[in-house]
Amino acid sequence: MRPGSRLAAAWAVLPNLTVRARDDQREQAVLHRLACWAGTFTSDVCCLPPQTLLLEVAASLRLFGGAAALFERVVNGCAEQGFEPRAALAPTPLAAQWLAAAGDAVPCLHPDELPARLDKLPLAVLPITAPRLSRLHGFGACSLADVLRLPRAGLARRLGADLVADLARARGELPDPRPRFVFPERFAERLEFPAGVENASALGFAGRRLLAVLCGWLTARVAGIRTCVFEFEHEPRADRFPVSVLSLGFAGATRDVDRMAHALLERLPRFELPAAVVAIVLRADTSEALPGRTAGLFGERGTVAGADSLALLAERLQSRLGPGAVHGLAMVAEHRPEKASRRVTPPPPSPGASAIEPTRGARPLWLLAQPRMLREEAGRPHCGGPLRLLTGPERIESGWWDADEPGAVGDVRRDYFIALSVRAEWLWIFRGREGWFLHGMFA
């Protein structure tokens, strides 16, 4: 088949041909998504619709370990995004475009080797119309080398000045500035499935693709996010477009794709979807500045070893156990035991923050969530047998200020004792208005 032939002719040759209308809008969306993703490698991206993406990578070569390594990562990354790129690396943008069009994937690194590489290219890579191309063939030219050998003035008169200028730009003889791709202020990318998906692992796979795009966008903006939102679109049913929303939160600002993907993969199996998913949208509205980390010069480990991985651990635990289940502890300067210990969101405050004078009396390691009432026999508290009071009383009388607030501990008047049970349990009990209560254990 050739481009330009009629559909009827195509069907005559290939009866089983499946025909799909070209959707420019979706093509542009894909190119936009890839441009965002390319932010992983450089902030200088140029988007050339309908199907070309230019990455200026001169400044990124060292960071990614050389041109060959970088080139490989870009190509592999494209494959992970689900595309098979025709990629090329060259000192000028036009040369890279032409090499890619010719399918020459060997990186061209030096401007010196550029003319030789360009010479070998076929004429089909040139951006000219078919009649002009046939004229060039009429001149006896078969490759770019033949064209370059022709006198420039005559070439410009016969085929237009554009072609001559393009040839000069490709060889680096004329400057070739390109418009930069502007990374959007807010991130929202959509990924469609060819058919409804119900499998959590397939959703995770697609979600990871979108997260890689998000990380490219964040890298280019030198930013990190704390929250992002996945929207799972279901098949439209009776004029409704049901959407399930899954929000991911992170302990600190991040742009680490593995970390985000972990959080997603932990959440997905427990996330209930009412129907098959036809598309995923990933949104990130607020991002905050997150400078890159300086790599260690001597291969040393960070001075705060583990602080980073601990945040990761807390996040992973949280994503499976639920948001309130993982916490740190902090002391509060309060006399009422219920209030003296406070749950804090991990990571806990830095060591200097908890400079609170310790209480004088002994405090138990365990505190019961609610004081448990104890039986009283012959004036003595019982807990599986009579209790032996060891020290006390330590009076705690405090809290009049929140007596009327709902859910507060309120005004307490208690006499605390340390008691030993017959089973050798060391207990912290108190006597209040209603009798004896067990409040803690010196475990």
Partner 1 sequence: MAAPAGTLSPPTLRQILERPDVWRGDALAGTRLPGVPTGFAELDGELPGGGWPRGGLIELLPICDGVGELSLLLPALARVSNDELSWLVCIAPPYSLHAPAWSAGGVDLSRLLVAGASGHDAAWACERSLVAEGVGAVVAWLPDARSTVLRRLQLAAENSRTLLFVFRPALCASQPSPASLRLLLAGEGDQLRVRLLKRRGNACATPVLIAVQRPVPLGHALAGSSTSAPAARRLSQSAVA
**Site residues (CB under 8 A) for partner 1, limited to 353-412:** 353-354, 358-359, 362-369, 378-380, 386, 388-393, 395, 397
- The DSSP secondary structure of 419-431, one letter per residue, reads EE-TT--EEEEEE
**Residue 85 corresponds to which amino acid?**
P
Q: For residues 214 and 247, is the Cβ–Cβ distance under 8 A?
A: no
* 12 bridge partner residues: none
* Binding of residue 331 to partner 1 (CB under 8 A): yes
Residue from 284, 326, 371, 437 in contact with partner 1 (CB under 8 A): 326
C-beta neighbour count of 166 within 10 angstroms = 18
Shortest Cβ 127–partner 1 spacing (Å): 53
Pairwise CA distance, residues 342 & 338, whole Å: 9
Nearer to partner 1, 41 or 416 (CB): 416
Nearer to partner 1, 173 or 376 (CB): 376
Shortest Cβ 201–partner 1 spacing (Å): 18
Nearer to partner 1, 111 or 393 (CB): 393
Measured in residues, the chain has a length of: 443
* Binding of residue 74 to partner 1 (CB under 8 A): no
Q: Which residues lie closer than 8 Å to 313 by C-beta, 6 or more apart? A: none
Dihedral angle over CA of 205, 209, 211, 217, nearest 10: 180
* Binding of residue 313 to partner 1 (CB under 8 A): yes
Shortest Cβ 346–partner 1 spacing (Å): 6
- What residues from 412 to 441 belong to the interface with partner 1 (CB under 8 A)? 413-415, 417-418, 420-421, 423-427, 431-433, 440-441
* Binding of residue 256 to partner 1 (CB under 8 A): no
- What residues from 126 to 185 belong to the interface with partner 1 (CB under 8 A)? none
Binding residues for partner 1, rule CB under 8 A, total 74
Shortest Cβ 27–partner 1 spacing (Å): 42
Pairwise CA distance, residues 228 & 285, whole Å: 8
Token duo for residue 316:
């992973």
Query: Cis (ω within 30 of 0) for the bond into 347?
Result: yes
Residue from 26, 157, 342, 375 in contact with partner 1 (CB under 8 A): 342
Nearer to partner 1, 12 or 332 (CB): 332
* Binding of residue 349 to partner 1 (CB under 8 A): yes
Collapsed DSSP state (helix, strand, coil) of residue 394: strand
Residue 295 dihedral angles phi and psi, to the nearest 5°: -75, 150
Shortest Cβ 405–partner 1 spacing (Å): 20
* Binding of residue 252 to partner 1 (CB under 8 A): no
Shortest Cβ 370–partner 1 spacing (Å): 10
Each as own residue / partner, the long-range contacts of residues 244-247 (CB below 8 Å, 24 or more positions apart, any chain) are 244/271, 244/273, 244/274, 244/277, 246/271
| Three-point CA angle 287, 263, 306, nearest 5° | 85
* Binding of residue 296 to partner 1 (CB under 8 A): no
Task: Find the part of the chain contacting partner 1 (CB under 8 A) among 42-50, 92-100, 197-205, 330-338.
Answer: 330-338
Shortest Cβ 210–partner 1 spacing (Å): 25
Residue 382 dihedral angles phi and psi, to the nearest 5°: -120, 140
What sections of 390-439 are H helices per DSSP?
none
Strands 341-344 and 288-289: unpaired
Shortest Cβ 88–partner 1 spacing (Å): 41
* 412 bridge partner residues: 398
Residue from 320, 373, 375, 385 in contact with partner 1 (CB under 8 A): 320
Task: Find the part of the chain contacting partner 1 (CB under 8 A) among 12-20, 78-86, 281-289, 299-307.
Answer: 299-307
Short-list 366, 363, 375, CA closest to 436: 375
C-beta neighbour count of 64 within 10 angstroms = 18
Nearer to partner 1, 218 or 418 (CB): 418
Q: For residues 224 and 249, is the Cβ–Cβ distance under 8 A?
A: no
Residue from 140, 309, 405, 406 in contact with partner 1 (CB under 8 A): 309
Shortest Cβ 247–partner 1 spacing (Å): 21
Residue from 89, 155, 314, 374 in contact with partner 1 (CB under 8 A): 314
Residue from 276, 330, 408, 409 in contact with partner 1 (CB under 8 A): 330
